[in-house]
Amino acid sequence: MADPAAARVHPLAVLGAGSMPGAGATLRALPPACRISLRADPQVAAAIAAAIGLPLPEAMCRANVLGARAALRLGPDEWLLIGPEAAGESLARVAMAVPGPASVVDVSHRSTALEIAGPRAVAVLGAFCALDLDAAAFPVGMCTRTLLGKAEIVLWRSAAECFRIEVWRSFAPYVWNCLEEGRLEFFI
Amino acid sequence: MKFSLLSLARNAVSGQTAGPAQWRSPQPRAVYDVVIVGAGGHGLATAYYLAKEHGIRNVAVLDRGWLGGGNTGRNTTIIRSNYLWDESARLYDHAHRMWETLAQELNYNVMFSPRGVMMLAHNVHDEQVVRRHIHANRGNGVENEWLSPEQAKAFCPPLNISSDMRYPILGAALQRRGGTARHDAVAWGYARAASAMGVDILQNCEVQAIDRDATGRAIAVETSRGRIAAGKIGVVAAGHTSVVMAMAGLRMPLESYPLQALVSEPVKPCFPCVVMSNTIHAYLSQSYKGELVIGAGTDAYVSYSQAGGLHISAHTLDAICELFPMFRRMRMLRNWGGIVDVTPDRSPVIGLTPVPGLFVNCGWGTGGFKATPGSGHVFAHTIATGTPHPIAAPFSLERFRTGRLIDEAAAAAVAH
Amino acid sequence: MLLIPCPHCGARPENEFRNAGEAHIARPAEADDAAWADYLYMRTNPKGVFIERWRHIHGCGRFFNCVRHTVTDRIIATYKAGDPRPSLDVLRAWSEHAR
Amino acid sequence: MSGAFRTASGGRIDRTQPILFGFDGRAMTGFRGDTLASALLANGVHLVGRSFKYHRPRGIVAAGSEEPNALVTVDRGGGRLTPNLRATQLELRRDLKATSQNRFPSLDFDIGAVNNLFSPLFSAGFYYKTFMWPASFWKHVYEPLIRSAAGLGRAPTEPDPDRYLHRYAHCDVLVIGAGPAGLAAALAAAETGARVILCDEQSEPGGSLLAETEARIEGRPAAEWAAGVARALAGQDRVTVLPRTTAFGWFPDNLIGLAERVTDHQDRPDPRLPRERLWQVRAREVVIAAGAIERPLVFPGNDRPGVMLADAGRIYANRYGVRVGDRAVIATAGDSGYRAALALLGAGATIAAIADLREDPAGAAVEAARQAGIAIRPGTAIAGSRGGHRVTEASLRRIGGSDRVERLDCDVLLMSGGFTPAVHMFSQSRGRLRFDAALQAFLPGKSAARERSAGACNGRFDLEGCLDEGFTAGAAAAKAAGCGSPRTRRFARAGAVPAPGGFLGAVPGTGKGKAFVDFQNDVTAKDLQLATREGFRSIEHVKRYTTTGMATDQGKTSNMNALAIVAGALDRPIPEVGLTTFRMPYTPVTFGTIAGASRGMLFDPLRHTPIHDWASEHGAVFEDVGNWKRARYFPRSGEDMHQAVARECTAVRMAAGMFDASTLGKIEVVGPDAATFLERMYTNAWARLAPGRLRYGLMLNEAGFIMDDGVIARLAPDRFHVTTTTGGAPGVLNHMEDYLQTEFTDLKVWLTSITEQYAVIAVQGPRAREIIAPLVEGIDLSPAAMPHMSVQTGQICGVATRLFRVSFTGELGFEINVPADHGRAVWEAVLQAGAAYGIVPYGTEAMHVLRAEKGYIIVGQETDGTVTPADAGLDWAIGKAKKDFVGKRSLSRPDIVAPGRKQLVGLLTHSPQEVLEEGAQLVADPHAEIPMRMIGHVTSSYHSAALGRSIALALVADGRSLLGQTLYVPMPDRMIAVTLVAPVFYDQEGRRLDG
Ligand SMILES: Cc1cc2nc3c(=O)[nH]c(=O)nc-3n(C[C@H](O)[C@H](O)[C@H](O)COP(=O)(O)OP(=O)(O)OC[C@H]3O[C@@H](n4cnc5c(N)ncnc54)[C@H](O)[C@@H]3O)c2cc1C
Ligand SMILES: NC(=O)c1ccc[n+]([C@@H]2O[C@H](COP(=O)([O-])OP(=O)(O)OC[C@H]3O[C@@H](n4cnc5c(N)ncnc54)[C@H](O)[C@@H]3O)[C@@H](O)[C@H]2O)c1
Ligand SMILES: Cc1cc2nc3c(=O)[nH]c(=O)nc-3n(C[C@H](O)[C@H](O)[C@H](O)COP(=O)(O)O)c2cc1C
Ligand SMILES: [Zn+2]
C-alpha cells in the first residue's frame, strides 16, 4: 500500500491535468500550499507579522508578497497567509507563540488554488464574477473574497493579466468548469 | 344584469352599447358601518361576505389605487390546500372548496382551473417532507397523493425524469383539484357582486391616518378623499399592512418583500398542470392565453418598490430551464413584482388587534391568492361578530406572544 | 442587484451580501412575554427610510448597518455594526435626498 | 434578382450574396443584409400570420422590434426551434426556414377564422360573463375549448442544445441606441477617455441613418458617416460597440441588462460561441438614445396585409431596396407619410394619393411631394380599407365634410399617426414622464437614476438636434462620471427639419368595421370604449380587461392610441389617465440567456468529499444532501438497499464499520473567550469542559426551537473544534458570527470554518480500537487515557490527526479527522487494517438506522423548526445554571411550557416486520374517520437488523405520558397498531460504548 502520508489527492487532480492551453486565457491548477487563517486585532497582527517575518498588508483587500509567501487581508481582522507547504508548520508555530489574543487556524487543505492568466482572463472571469476587474478598479495586488457563479472564492490579481483563485476544495471542480466554459469562445 | 351567453348575444346584436358599469364608482359617504382598507381580493371578498352573510351593507372598501392592483393583480394564481398543519389545512381547504363554485356564486367566471398542482421531490429529505404532508392531509380530508417519477411524467409529460439530472425527480405530491384561476376576474367578480349589494368601492382613496377616540378605539380613517368614520375598520392591505397599522400605533410581525413573477410569450398549450419545486425554487403553469406563468423568489431585503433584481429572475429561470430544458428557447415577455407581507411563521394573521374596532387580515406573504374566498369569509365573520371565526382563531396575533406559531415554512420550505 | 457600500471593502455587488433584517433591535436582558415577542417578531417595516443589517458574507464577513429608502431602494449610508444609530434629523435629511 | 419587388439598386443589402430561404415551405431568395421581412416583401409576400383571437390575416406592419404582426417560428434543427420571432428582426441567413403561426391548416385557409364571424360575441371580457352554465360543462367543454385557442407559436419540445453565457461589465457611460444621437453621445464620451459601451438592437449601428438617403453629416452621406463613426469607436480600447444587443431592463444602481444575439444570424455558427449573451452592465452614467416609434392610425380595416407604417415603407425602400407595393395610398398625420411617398416613388411605385389629417400641410417634405406630382388630400382621413389577404382599396373621407368617400385602388396602404418617443428604458429607470402637449407625447421628465435622454426618445425629431443633443448628453455623462470633457463639435449636416405632426386615438369620421388598436391581441377601439362603459376607468383596468398592450410587442405601437381612446371615452385629459407601467424586458428575452451557463453541472455546485471517488469506484449509491453527494449505502452484487443496509448495520454491531463523515460542518472556535461564547450559543455548559474532552452541543434559535446539534471538542483552553450538521453548517456559522459581531461584542473569539480542511472517517464497532491501533502514533487509545467523549491529537498513518472518541451508533467509536488531501489514503489504510476484523464501509442509511436504534435525533428529521429541547427529550442538555443562552428566554413562553406539546417517543408496531412510513400520522382512536384528530407523526422508521424487527421514532402529543399505550397509524387501507415506548431501542444502558 502506498504511504498515506505521501499519497495525496488534489481536488483538481483529474480536471487540472486536462485543460487545453489557449491564447486568450490559460487555466492551471496550482500545487498544494500551506494556508493559515489568521484572525487578530490589527495591533496583535502586527506583532505576529514581525514574528513570522511577513509584513501584513494594512489596507483592506490587498496582498503583500515576500518571496514565496504572501499575506492577503480579507477582513478587518482577517488575513490569509499562503506559503509553500514546507513553511506551514513553522509559520503556524511562530504565529501561535505570539502573545495577545489571536486565532491561527491551519486551512491548508480547506482550499485549493488555480490560476487564470492571459489577455482574456478578465473577460473569462467576467462571465461569472460581478466585480469590476478593470486595472483601475482591481489593480495588481488586490485580493478579496467574492462569488464566481454560485461559489465563493478568493480572487487575487497577482499580475496584470494573472489571477489566483483560492476556492474551497469541494467547489473547485465547479469553479474550474465555469472557467472552462468561459474560455471556450476564446479558442476561436 | 345577469351575465350569460344569452345576455352577451343580446349585446352583440345591439352592438355592445348596453354594458352598464360592473361596479359603481360612488362618492365617499361620511360614515360606514365597516370600512375595509384595501380592495384586493381579500378585502373585496370580506365586504361581499359582510353584505351577503351578515347583512352588513353599509360598507366601504378603500384602495389607494385601482381595485385589484395589489398582489391580487400580480400573482401566479396557484391554488391548492395541501398545507401541513391542521389549522392551515382547515383554512386553505375552506377556501379551496369555495373556489369550486365561486363562478356561479358571483355570476362571474373566475376561470378556476383545477388542473392539478404537483410538488416535486428531488432528494430523500424532500420525499420525507412530502410524504408527511400527504399523510397529514389525508387525515384532514385534504386530498394529496404521492406519484412515482413515472406517474409524475405521465401527468406532466414535459417533466424530465432521467436520473442524471443535477436535481433528479424522485417523485411528487399531486393535489389533483389544485390549479389556477383568473386573478383579475376574482377581484372584478367580488367587486361587482359586492357593489350590487350596496358596498361602496372607493378607488384612489388612500388611507393616511387612523383616528382613535379617547378610549383608544379606532373610529375613522383619514383618506386622500377625506375623513371617513367607521363603526369598525378592517385592514386588508397586504404588503402595506405595517404602514397602515402604524397609523394606529401598532407594530406588526411583518416584513414586506418584493416578489417577482414573469410570463413567457404565449404558445399553444404545452403544459397541462402546475409544477412547483421548492428545492430548486421554481414554479410554472400555463395561462389561458398561452403564456408560461412563472413565479420567482423574493428579494432579500424589505422593499416597497414593486420591482426586483435581475439575479432573482435569473435564479428562477435557470431552475426552470434545468427542469424543463425544452423551454430554454422560450422568451420572457414581461416581468413584474408585488410586495408581499411575510410573517415569521409564514402563516397569515386574521383577527382582532389590541386597538378596539380595528381588525386585521394580513401576512399571506407569497401564498394568499388561493385563500381569497375563505379569507374574506372568515374575516367577515370575525368583523361582524367581533369574535374570530373558529377557522381563523388559531391565526391570531396572540400566537406570537404565546409561542404557538403555525410554522409552515419550517416544515415545508416555501409556500405558494 | 444593488450596489452596496461595505464600510470595510467599498461598493460591492449585492450577491456578495446577505441581508439580516432590521437594525438596532436590542436584545432585552429581561422581558415579559409581550416584550419578548416584540423583540423576536415585531418589525418597523417602514415605507421610507429604513435601517437594516447586512453581512458582507462573501467578502470581509462583517455585519454592518445600512440606511436605505425602501421605495427607491437607494442606499443612503452604511456604517459599522456597533456605531450609533443616526439621529432623527440626519435621517430626515437623508430621506429627502433619497426620494 | 431576389424577388419582383426588389429595386434595381440602392439599400444596404449585398446584392452579390443571394440567399435561399424558406417560408411555409416555399423557397425564395433574398440578399445578405435582408431581414426575413424585407426578403418576403421583396418577393411580394405580405400575408405572414394570423391574429390571436379572430385569426385575421395579417401582414408586416413595421420594420423594427415594434412589429406586432409578423411573428414566425424558426426551426434550425436539433431542438433549435424558436416560436414568435419577429420577421422584422430576423436577419436572413443561409437555409433560414420560417413558418407562420396560429393557423390551421394553412395560412391562406385558416379554420380559426370563423372566430371572426362570431367576433361580436368575443367582445372584451367575454370570458368572464359566460361559460358558467351548466357548471359541469366548464371542465370538459368550455375550458378545453378556451385553452385550445391559446397561444401563437408552438413551444419547442426538445432540449435546446445551444449555449448561453453571461458577462458582467462596468463602464463610465453606457449608450443605449446607436442612431445619430447615440453615436454622437458615444463619440463625446469616448473622447474623454471614459469607458464606453454602445449597444443597439439592430444588426449594425446607425439607427435611422441606415435608411437615410438624403442627409449628409460632416460632409458624408449619413449612413456612411454612421458606419465610419461606429468603426472608429469600435477600434478604441475603452469602447465596446455591441450590435444586435438590446438593452432590455433597468435595475437599481444603474445595472442595465443587455441581451446580445451572438449567432442566430450566422450561417454556420461555431459551437464554441454562445448563442446569446446576457450583459449585466453597471454604468456610472447612461445616455438613452432609443429613438421613436411610429404609430399606426386607428381606422376600420387598418389590419389588412399591405397596411403598413409609413416609415417602414420608407425603410424597406431605402435600406433594403424593396418596394412594398406598386400602388400606394398614404394616410398620414405628419411628414413621415411624405418622406415615405417620395421613397416609394423612387423605388418605382405609384402613389395614388396622400391623405393628410392636417388641414394645411406645409414644410419641406410636403413641398417635395408636391414637386414630385403626388396627389395630396389635406384635411382628409383614411376611412377604411378593403381586401382579402391583401389590401386592394383604400377609402378616404374629408374631415368635417360630406359622407362622400373616395375609393382608391392600391396594393399597399401606408399610415403614420406620428412618432412616440421610446421612453421605455427611461421609465424603467423609475424616471417620471411628463406629457408634452405640443408634441402630444410623453417625454422623460424628472430623473431617478443617473441617466439622460437624447434624440427622438427625448422629443427631438430633427437630425441636427439629435446629433447635438446626443453629443451634449454624452459629454455631460462623461463629466458626471468623472471623466473630463470633450472638445465641442458641431455636426454640420444637410436635410430638412421635419414639421411636427401626429394623431392620437381613433381616426374621426370613419365607417363601420373593426378599427384595431392592438393588432396582436385583436383589441379594437370599440373594445376599449366598451370597457370604460363597464366601469373599467383606470387605464390599468382597461389594459387587463381588454388585454391591450399585453401582447408580445407590449403595445409599442398601440399604447398611446389606446390611451387617447380611453381618455376620450372618459372625457379626461391624457396625462390624467396616464400610461400603464413599463416593465422589463423591452423586447422578449430568451430564458436561456437569462439562465446563462447555469445548467447541468454548472447549475449548482456539486460537492464531493475527499473519499467520494473511492465510494463511487466501490459501487456506492449516493444521495443528495444540500449540495453534497453522500454515499447512502454500498450494495454488493445482488443486494437491494434493504439487504445492504442490514448487512452494514450488522457489521457495525458485530465488528466494525467505517463511515465518511466529511460533510459534517466544522468550525474552529479560538480565542480567550471561546468557552464563554459557546456558553451563550449552545444550551450546554462549556466552561468546565476539560481540554481533551468532547460534549454534545445543542443549539437553539432565539425562538427556542432546535436549530442544530453536534459534538464539540475542547482542544485547548482557548480552542474548540465544533461540529455541526451537514446541511446546517453555513447557517450555524452565520448565526454564530451574527451574535459574535453584533450582540456579544465583548468577547475575544474568532470563528474559522474547517469543514473542508478535514476528511472525517468514523470507525464504529466493537473492534474499532483494535483496527486503528496499529495505525496510530502518539495517541494512547486505552479506555483510561482515551475514554468515551475525548479527543487527542497525534498521527494516523503518518498524517496529523484530531482523533475523537465518539459514537453516533452506540458502539465503541472513533472519528478520525485528517487533512483532506490524505482522506482517501487513510480511509483505504483503515479499511485494509480492518479487513481481518470484518470491517465494512457503511452509508448514511445505515448510519440513520444505527442512531435511531439508540434514539439519537437527527436535526431536520426528528425536528422541523418547531421542536424544543424538552419536546425532543433533550432537557438534560440544558445547562440549568446558565443565566442566558440564545433561545433560553423563549423556552418559558406560555405555549412552550403548556401541556399537549409533541414529545419524542419510540414506536413498536404490533406486527414486528411492519415498517411504518415516515411522515405517517398517529391517532388514538382505531375507528377514527376523516377528518381525524391526529396527535403525532412518525419521524424516523426503519427495519432494525439488530433487533430483528421494525422500530420508529415519533413526535406525539404528551407522548411521554402515553408510554406503553397503543396508538394507531392510519393508512389509506387500514390502521396499524403501535405501542409507545421510550425512544431507545438498543443497549439502553449504553454499555457498548466502551466496546
Ligand atoms: C409575484 C407573486 C406571486 C404570487 N403567487 C401566488 C400564488 O401562486 N398563489 C397564491 O395563493 N398566492 C400567491 N401570491 C400571494 C397573493 O398574491 C397574495 O397573498 C394575495 O393576493 C393577497 O391578497 P390581498 O387582497 O390581501 O392583497 P392585495 O391584492 O395586495 O390588496 C391589498 C390592497 O390594499 C391596498 N392598500 C394598501 N395600502 C393602502 C392604504 N393606505 N389605503 C388604501 N388602500 C391601501 C393596496 O393598494 C392593495 O390593492 C403571489 C404574490 C406575488 C406578488
Ligand atoms: N421625420 C420625423 O418626424 C422623424 C421622427 C422621428 C425620428 N426622426 C429621425 O430619426 C432620428 C432620431 O435619431 P435618434 O438617434 O434619436 O434615434 P434613431 O431611431 O436613429 O436610433 C435609435 C436606435 O436605438 C435603438 N434602440 C432603441 N431601443 C433600444 C434598446 N432598448 N436597446 C438597444 N437599442 C435600442 C434602435 O434600434 C435604433 O437603432 C433623427 O435622424 C430624426 O431626424 C424623424
Ligand atoms: C397570471 C398573470 C398573467 C399575465 N399575463 C400577461 C400577459 O400575457 N401579457 C402582459 O403583458 N402581462 C401579463 N401579466 C402582467 C401584467 O401585465 C402586469 O405586469 C402585472 O399585473 C403587474 O402590474 P404592473 O406591471 O402594472 O405593475 C400577467 C400577470 C399575471 C398575474
Ligand atoms: Zn466587506
CATH topology classification for B117-176+255-342: D-Amino Acid Oxidase; Chain A, domain 2 (3.30.9)
State residue D1's pLDDT score.
55
pLDDT in tens, D881-919: 999 999 999 999 999 999 999 999 999 999 999 999 999
Architecture per CATH, D890-994: Beta Barrel (2.40)
For each of chain B's 416 residues, which pLDDT tens digit applies?
A: 677 666 666 665 555 544 689 999 999 999 999 999 999 999 999 999 999 999 999 999 999 999 999 999 999 999 999 999 999 999 999 999 999 999 999 999 999 999 999 999 999 999 999 999 999 999 999 999 999 999 999 999 999 999 888 999 999 999 999 999 999 999 999 999 999 999 999 999 999 999 999 999 999 999 999 999 999 999 999 999 999 999 999 999 999 999 999 999 999 999 999 999 998 888 999 999 999 999 999 999 999 999 999 999 999 999 999 999 999 999 999 999 999 999 999 999 999 999 999 999 999 999 999 999 999 999 999 999 999 999 999 999 999 999 999 998 876 544 34
Asked if B147 contacts B273 with a C-beta cutoff of 8 angstroms, the reply is no
CATH topology classification for D164-292+421-494: FAD/NAD(P)-binding domain (3.50.50)
Contacts of A187 in chain D (CB under 8 A): 272
- CATH H superfamily, domain D296-417: FAD/NAD(P)-binding domain (3.50.50.60)
Ligand nearest, relative to CA of residue C9: 4
CB contact under 8 A, B4 and D598: no
CATH topology classification for C3-98: Folate-binding fold (3.30.2270)
Per-residue burial over A158-181, b = 16 or more CB atoms within 10 Å of its CB, e = otherwise: beebbbbbbbbbbbbbbbbbbbbb
Candidates A120, A28, A38; CA nearest to A77 is A38
Q: Predicted ipTM?
A: 0.97
| Whether the CB of D338 sits within 6 Å of ligand 2 | no
Where along chain B do its domains lie? 5-75+183-253+344-412, 117-176+255-342
CATH topology classification for B5-75+183-253+344-412: FAD/NAD(P)-binding domain (3.50.50)
Q: Where are the alpha helices (DSSP H) in D699-836?
A: 729-742, 768-772, 823-835
Least confident of B128-137, D107-116, D405-414: D107-116
Instruction: Calculate how close chain A gets to C85, using CA atoms only, in Å.
Output: 21
CB contact under 8 A, C1 and D280: yes
Chain mean pLDDT for chain D: 96
User: Ligand 1 centroid vs B236 CA: distance in angstroms?
Assistant: 9
State residue C86's pLDDT score.
87
**Last residue of one domain, picked from the residues A106, A132, A157:** A106
Instruction: Calculate how close chain B gets to C17, using CA atoms only, in Å.
Output: 10
State residue B413's pLDDT score.
43
Q: How far apart are CA B184 and CA B67, in angstroms?
A: 9
Phi-psi label, residue D505: left if phi above 0, alpha if psi -120 to 50, beta otherwise:
left
Among chain A residues, CA nearest to D666: A110
Domain at D605-663+757-853, CATH class: alpha beta
Q: Is A173 contained in some domain?
A: yes
Q: Provide the CATH number for the domain around residue A43.
A: 3.30.70.1520
Q: What is the mean pLDDT of residues D97-101?
A: 96
Q: Do both A44 and A27 map to the same domain?
A: no
SS3 call for D33? coil
Q: How far apart are CA B243 and CA C45, in angstroms?
A: 8
Q: Is A159 contained in some domain?
A: yes
Q: Do both A115 and A180 map to the same domain?
A: yes
Among chain D residues, CA nearest to C23: D742
Q: Do both A86 and A99 map to the same domain?
A: yes
Q: Is A60 contained in some domain?
A: yes
CB contact under 8 A, A109 and D752: no
The model's confidence at residue D403, banded by pLDDT at 50, 70 and 90, is: confident
Where along chain D do its domains lie? 14-131, 164-292+421-494, 296-417, 503-590, 605-663+757-853, 664-754, 890-994
Among chain C residues, CA nearest to B403: C37
Q: Do both A119 and A94 map to the same domain?
A: no
Q: What is the mean pLDDT of residues D306-320?
A: 98
Query: Which residues constitute the domain of residue A159?
Result: 22-31+110-184
Q: How far apart are CA D324 and CA D38, in angstroms?
A: 9
Q: Do both A165 and A128 map to the same domain?
A: yes
Q: How far apart are CA D952 and CA D943, in angstroms?
A: 9
A77 touches chain C (CB under 8 A): no
Determine how many CB atoms are found less than 10 A away from the CB of residue D617.
8
The burial class, CB within 10 Å (0-12 / 13-18 / 19+), for D600 is: middle
Atom of ligand 2 nearest to the CA of D499: 3
Where does D14-131 sit in CATH, by number?
3.10.20.440
pLDDT in tens, D696-728: 999 999 999 999 999 999 999 999 999 999 999
Q: How far apart are CA D598 and CA D579, in angstroms?
A: 37
pLDDT in tens, D329-383: 999 999 999 999 999 999 999 999 999 999 999 999 999 999 999 999 999 999 9
| Whether the CB of B291 sits within 6 Å of ligand 3 | yes
CB contact under 8 A, C45 and B300: no
Per-residue burial over D822-833, b = 16 or more CB atoms within 10 Å of its CB, e = otherwise: bbbbbbbbbbeb
User: Ligand 3 centroid vs D181 CA: distance in angstroms?
Assistant: 33
Q: Is A10 contained in some domain?
A: no
Chain mean pLDDT for chain A: 92
State residue D148's pLDDT score.
85
Instruction: Enter the C-alpha cell of residue A83.
Output: 506559503
Pocket test for ligand 1, best of B44, B71, B113, B223 (most atoms within 8 A of CB): B71
Q: Do both A74 and A38 map to the same domain?
A: yes
Query: Does residue C98 surpass a pLDDT of 80?
Result: no
- CA distances to A24, A79, B323, D126, D650 from B395, in Å: 61, 49, 36, 38, 49
Instruction: Enter the C-alpha cell of residue B376.
Output: 374574506
Choosing among B5, B77, B90, B109, which should be mutated to test the D contact, i.e. which has the most D CBs within 10 A? B109
pLDDT in tens, D178-235: 999 999 999 999 999 999 999 999 999 999 999 999 899 999 999 999 999 999 999 9
pLDDT in tens, A65-93: 999 999 999 999 999 999 998 776 677 77
CB contact under 8 A, C61 and A78: yes
Q: What is the mean pLDDT of residues D162-172?
A: 98
Choosing among C15, C19, C33, C56, which should be mutated to test the D contact, i.e. which has the most D CBs within 10 A? C33
A9 touches chain C (CB under 8 A): no
Nearest to B131 among D162, D918, D930 (CB): D918
The answer to whether the bond into D585 is cis (omega within 30° of 0) is yes
State residue B1's pLDDT score.
62
- CA distances to B38, B52, B239, D24, D590 from B191, in Å: 12, 13, 20, 47, 37
Same fold yes or no, D164-292+421-494 and D296-417: yes
Q: How far apart are CA A183 and CA D494, in angstroms?
A: 47
Candidates B23, B91, B80; CA nearest to B394 is B91
pLDDT in tens, D557-576: 999 999 999 999 999 999 99
Size of chain D, expressed as the number of residues it contains:
995
Q: Is A4 contained in some domain?
A: no
Q: How far apart are CA D995 and CA D984, in angstroms?
A: 18
Nearest to D121 among B8, B133, B268 (CB): B8
| Whether the CB of B364 sits within 6 Å of ligand 1 | yes
Sole residue written with cell 502520508:
A5
Where does D503-590 sit in CATH, by number?
1.10.10.1100
Pocket test for ligand 2, best of D242, D461, D472, D589 (most atoms within 8 A of CB): D461
CATH topology classification for D664-754: Alpha-Beta Plaits (3.30.70)
State residue B415's pLDDT score.
38
Among chain C residues, CA nearest to D752: C61
User: Ligand 1 centroid vs B238 CA: distance in angstroms?
Assistant: 5
Least confident of A125-134, D491-500, D671-680: D491-500
